Amino acid sequence: MFNIDIKKLLIKSQDKELVNISFKISNSTALIGQSGSGKSLTLKALLNLLPNSLICEKEIKSNFVLDFNTIGFIPQNPFTSLSPMTKINKQFFCSDKKKKEVLKLVDLDTWVLEKYPSQLSGGQIQRVIIAIALSKEIKLLLLDEPTTALDIENRDNIIGLIKNLIEDLKILVLFVTHDIDSVKDICKDMIIIKDGIVIEQGNTEEILSKSKQSYTKTLINSTFKNKDFRK
Ligand SMILES: Nc1ncnc2c1ncn2[C@@H]1O[C@H](COP(=O)(O)OP(=O)(O)OP(=O)(O)O)[C@@H](O)[C@H]1O
């Protein structure tokens, strides 16, 4: 199985330390924290897409090469993520055979290839974006609140799809979300961050049921609806 050991990730602006964390990913892992806690910066640092105005120091060990070919990224807003004037077919960079294969993985038929993004629903576009990510041989999938812009039915479908993909493809997942219900469904591990610092990390079920950290408890209580899960 793949694994990543982020021994050091320090992100600073000219006058402020924004993120200073270390964590391991050897499973499907959720990254949870309030707005402004440093989740998106962490993903951008892994993608090497931080703005030039920020300083980043990182020390990462992994048992595969971490680059654009091995990392897939699913953004928050599917509606602005694809080129609006280009048919879906031209937004893939792989063979027709591979397109068919990955569209099947996300439960879409090849008819979508002849459509423009505006002709698809939000859930369909998010599936296309996941299919594009899977058209490379990725080993790590970064998800940045991938269901925020979707209605509840599409949200549940996409969460179900991601869960199946993790099980079938055996890839690592780092899942940024505010939705603790879906963390329970998808992620074996979780990392809680606050103001750029790791507050707690470990097994999801243990943290959700036994955390002693007041910050974690507040996060869980404010967003976690399925109370029966907690003991
Ligand atoms: N380019 C930048 N320059 C300076 N500070 C920044 C920059 N980008 C983000 N920040 C600051 O870094 C902190 C972390 O931001 P980040 O976007 O990672 O938060 P987040 O946890 O993803 O929040 P949200 O859940 O709202 O998306 C915030 O205080 C933010 O204002």
Q: In 67-200, where does DSSP find H-type helix?
A: 96-105, 122-134, 152-169, 180-186
Q: What is the pLDDT of residues 188-229, one digit of tens each?
A: 999 999 999 999 999 999 999 988 888 888 888 876 544 444
pLDDT digits (tens, 9 = 90+) for 128-185: 999 999 999 999 999 999 888 788 888 888 899 999 988 888 899 999 998 888 898 8
> Probe ligand 1: pick from 10, 15, 18, max atoms within 8 Å of CB?
18
Burial 3-38 (b: 16+ CB within 10 A, else e): ebebeebbbeeeeeebbbbebbbebbbbbbbeeebb
pLDDT (tens digit per residue) in 110-123: 999 999 999 999 89
* Cβ(35) – ligand 1 distance below 6 Å: yes
What is the CA(38)–ligand 1 centre distance, in A? 6
pLDDT of amino acid 226: 44
Question: How far apart (Å, rounded) are the C-alpha atoms in residues 102 and 91?
Answer: 13
Establish whether residue 51 lines the binding site of ligand 1, counting it when its CB lies within 6 angstroms of any ligand atom. Answer: yes
The DSSP 8-state label assigned to residue 8 in this structure reads E
Question: Residue 40 C-alpha to ligand 1 middle, in angstroms?
Answer: 7
Give CA–CA dist 113/100, Å, rounded. 9
State ipTM: 0.97
State pTM to two decimals.
Answer: 0.91
User: Ligand 1: does its nearest atom lie under 6 Å from the Cβ of 33?
Assistant: yes
Q: Which two tokens mark 155?
A: 């949200």
